[in-house]
Amino acid sequence: MNSFQLRNVHLFNAQSVSDERPVQLNVRQGRIEDVAEELPHATGPVIDMQGHYASAGWIDGHAHVYYGATDIGLLPDEIGLCTGVHLVVDAGSAGEANFRGLHDLVIQASETDVLAYLNTGVIGLVAANRVSEYVKMELMDLGRMLEVAEQYRSVIRGIKVRVSGVIVDTMGMEVLEQAQQVAEAAKLPLVIHVGETPPELPQILRALEPGTLVTHCYHGKSTNSVLEAPYRRAMQEAAERGVLLDVGHGEASFSYAAADVCVQENILPFSISTDLHRRNRGGPVWDLPTTMTKMLHVGLSLRQVIDCVTANPAQFLGEPQRGEVRIGAEANLTLFSLADVRASVADSNGHERTLTKAVTPTAVVRKGVFQPLCSGSLAAPLYGGLLR
Ligand SMILES: [Zn+2]
């Protein structure tokens, strides 16, 4: 069905209407024909979305979907359209030695759109956190990385580097400096994972150019965490200089307490992402809507949460049109509700909070076609059944 009317929907990311009042949206042959509080005619069957919201298609800017070639890889479609996510970004699962497989066997084969960041570690995350991608720094080959970045420019949108103790060990800042050289030469933005020491977080942050994306910004690990005021100040100063903060929830990288205090002090995320992989999809991450729910819980407005999974990551990826709902464009939307729930949901430190509102995807409009989501949320077990 690619000609229809959505009715009674609160619409985000549209310049012509506010999200505060319900609107009608006409789709004709897959394109958005018109949006207004009252339209003179319907382009096809009317779908009443009473009580629902719609936005540009959601983007998960940090996940791991190099299935089979890395021990943590999921399939993009497991965490994509079925949870309202139109675009998944693989955050450095592949390095220059094995990027071809990610492109040919995963990106090309998935219904969900996939883009990627190229890991500066030659082998990427083949055996994540067991074999460091920087196991032999002398293997790093700038020429080969640039070749791969050029060959796959249509899908590589950033350079990824992990700068935390277990990964860089004694190499410290050298890994970051090399990645900055690669990013600059490839004319791509840098995406940097932070975690425990070494190096010290303020030292890392001071070295970053504006426009660099820092993922795991609210981690609550034993060192380098924004739970401690000096690290928070360093994060705030970096953000004020134009460094962009990404949630990147992950198995070990999201603390409610850290997010709470940062949101209170206006140290806000630019993007909300999951860092979903095989070891955290059954909790504590579950899916993107659950990470969005957690950010709503710590005090972001729904509009802020939506911008963090639409307009902001779309801009970072160089595809701003993905983050807007525009008349004349192909219709790509995520439809969702805010379900009333009462559930204890843990962060990466095992600390539970009682959540009372869950962002719940109910349908997507994908390439102009309306598709209800049958499976409910991947986090449904948390809420005692299917969430619709
Ligand atoms: Zn990751």
Q: Which fold has domain 58-321?
A: TIM Barrel (3.20.20)
Tell me the CA–centroid distance for residue 61 and ligand 1, in Å.
10
The whole-number pLDDT of residue 388 equals: 46
Give burial (CB, 10 Å; 0-12/13-18/19+) of 50: exposed
The whole-number pLDDT of residue 377 equals: 61
- Our CA angle for 11, 15, 21, nearest 5°, is 40
Would you list the domain boundaries of the chain? 4-56+325-383, 58-321
Helices (H), 18-85: 76-79
Helix (H) or strand (E) holding 49: strand 46-56
Tell me the CA–centroid distance for residue 128 and ligand 1, in Å.
9
List of the chain residues with pLDDT < 70? 169, 375-381, 383-388
Tell me the CA–centroid distance for residue 142 and ligand 1, in Å.
22
Tell me the CA–centroid distance for residue 357 and ligand 1, in Å.
27
Tell me the CA–centroid distance for residue 221 and ligand 1, in Å.
15
Q: Which amino acid is at 201?
A: L
Tell me the CA–centroid distance for residue 26 and ligand 1, in Å.
38
- Our CA angle for 218, 224, 230, nearest 5°, is 90
8 A C-beta contact, residue 291 and residue 269: no
Tell me the CA–centroid distance for residue 275 and ligand 1, in Å.
5
The whole-number pLDDT of residue 378 equals: 61
CA–CA separation, 342 and 328 (whole Å): 41
Tell me the CA–centroid distance for residue 31 and ligand 1, in Å.
35
Q: What is the dihedral of CA 333, 259, 316, 145, to 10 degrees?
A: -120
Record the tokens describing residue 132, joined without a space: 């460091």
Tell me the CA–centroid distance for residue 286 and ligand 1, in Å.
14
The whole-number pLDDT of residue 376 equals: 54
Q: Which fold has domain 4-56+325-383?
A: Urease, subunit C; domain 1 (2.30.40)
The whole-number pLDDT of residue 187 equals: 98
Look at the chain and count its residues.
Answer: 388
